[in-house]
Amino acid sequence: MYELIKPAPHSWYIESPTKIGIYVSDETDENGKRKAYLIDTGNDKDGGKKVLRALEGENIAIQSVFITHSNADHVGGCRIITNRLGIKAYAPGIEACITEHPIMETSYLYGGYPPKDLRHKFLMAQQCGCEDLEKNLDALPAGLEMIPLHGHYFDMVGFRTCDDVVYLADCLSSRENIEKYAIWVVYNVEDFLSTLDAVMKMDAKLFIPSHAAPAEDIRPLAQFNVDTVREIADAICDIIKEPMISDEIIRLVFKKYGLEMNFEQYVLVGSTVRSYLSWLRDTGRAEAEVSDCRLIWHAI
């Protein structure tokens, strides 16, 4: 774990619970080291330290950090890395705000101020200063292109390098993870599917997802993710053939997929189920009505 892998001259990554990308440019600093840029930072302070150790002995100098999105497993090491190296972090749009104010992530997931059971490093990274990448595109070095990958999270992005390597962040998950956990966290189902459609049309020498093995052909895995999303949507429609409230729908989703509920899984899967319900309503497959001071969902 935390092994440095170099699949292309400019495009490296660190194998870890969440893959960390490294873009290595041809430019050098005043010490003759090649300028390099991190893509994400690991899941916590210890993860950040391991990232720095993995890069020791390499003739590179990290210039800045580019965050794909603000989930704690991608920004948890940002604070220690930027502080130790004296560099800036950049993230797109809302992701920059959440990186600076991580309580926003747990508040969104919970739907209010989160209890202390949720205010920990798994769901709430350490606060880190962060600038909006979309307003600072000149911070991107030559040879590194930002790609919008919205859906899994608010303003998530990926990156394509001059090696024609694409870092895909969390726009899809491995077959093994989906078969184990069933429900992949999704903020906006419509955007998630649109992103997967765009990914299936992409050509690259290598794709590096954060939570799946690198692949030269990403289409089969992307299609598996699409099929899973549509299967989950159909399952929810089947569940709400009988009108019911959100929490009961969530309970039955957990039962259907054999998931074990705890506080963390409740907010992660629960927020995703609510996102599916919103999408089903927007696409005319479900409706919601207030009755007896309850919001009741039912399939159409």
Over residues 120-143, the pLDDT tens digits come to 999 999 999 999 999 999 999 999
SS3 content of the chain, % helix, strand, coil (to 5): 40, 25, 40
Q: How far apart are CA 126 and CA 75, in angstroms?
A: 8
| Residue indicated by tokens 């992307």 | 222
| Strand-pair partners of 206 | 165
Phi, psi of 284 (to 5 degrees): 80, 20
DSSP conformation class of 32: S
| Residue indicated by tokens 């749009």 | 93
| pLDDT value of position 1 | 86
Per the confidence metrics, is the pTM higher than 0.85? yes
- Cβ proximity of 173 and 211 under 8 Å: yes
Phi, psi of 5 (to 5 degrees): -120, 140
Q: How far apart are CA 173 and CA 73, in angstroms?
A: 14
Rounded to whole angstroms, what are the CA distances from 9 to 22, 25, 59, 74, 164?
11, 9, 13, 24, 11
Q: How far apart are CA 62 and CA 85, in angstroms?
A: 8
Q: How far apart are CA 189 and CA 248, in angstroms?
A: 21
Domains of the chain: 3-170 (3.60.15.10)
| Residue indicated by tokens 């440019």 | 25
| pLDDT value of position 34 | 98
| pLDDT value of position 232 | 98
Extract the tokens encoding 268.
């992660």
pLDDT tens per residue across span 228-263: 999 999 999 999 999 999 999 999 999 999 999 999
| pLDDT value of position 103 | 97
Q: Which residues make Cβ contacts (< 8 Å) with residue 239, sequence separation at least 6?
A: 249, 252, 253, 256
Give pLDDT < 50 ranges for the chain.
none
Q: How far apart are CA 270 and CA 254, in angstroms?
A: 9
